[in-house]
Amino acid sequence: MMEKFCKDTVLLQDKKRTKKRGQKSKANKKPEPKPQLTEEELSNKWAEFAGEISEVLSKELQLPEEDQPLPFDATAEKSIDDQKEDCMLRLHRFLRDQQIEKAISLLRSARNLA
């Protein structure tokens, strides 16, 4: 019985080795930069925002607690100056994305803490 088993070409388990395919990471692809606006386009954009910004500034903001942006993180290892720069960048991003209420809320809370 053992002879027969050894002489037969019975394959109990076939091991196949497959090559790992490298996944194309999206990090390698650079996002297309947004076109830079000219001075005239920027001034037109600010003229459009001026009315809305003055309207929001004149009234009391009623944002829910979870939507109010925090200007600084006391537990962060960054220095206060770095956090102020980050706060200004977030403020600019809110204004560019036309989230005026969040931008003004962030400005007011940062001003109160500083």
* Interval 42-97: pLDDT, tens: 888 888 888 888 888 888 877 777 777 777 777 878 888 888 889 899 998 888 88
Residue 86 domain-assigned (yes or no): yes
**Residue 35: what pLDDT?**
73
User: How many distinct structural domains can be found in the chain?
Assistant: 1
Rg of the chain over all Cα atoms, to the nearest angstrom: 30
Q: How many CA atoms lie within 13 A of 9 on its CB side?
A: 0
Residue 82 domain-assigned (yes or no): yes
Residue 85 domain-assigned (yes or no): yes
**Residue 28: what pLDDT?**
62
Question: Residue 105's closest CA among 72, 45, 56?
Answer: 56
The dihedral region occupied by 98, where left means phi > 0, alpha psi between -120 and 50, and beta the remainder, is: left
Q: How many CA atoms lie within 13 A of 68 on its CB side?
A: 12
- Which burial class, exposed, middle or buried, applies to 87 when counting CB atoms under 10 A from its CB (0-12, 13-18, 19+)? buried
Q: Is this structure's pTM higher than 0.95?
A: no
pLDDT of 9 strictly over 70: no
Residues 36 and 45 sit within 8 Å (Cβ to Cβ): no
Residue 78 domain-assigned (yes or no): yes
Domain that holds residue 90: 38-62+72-114
pLDDT of 29 strictly over 70: no
Residue 13 domain-assigned (yes or no): no
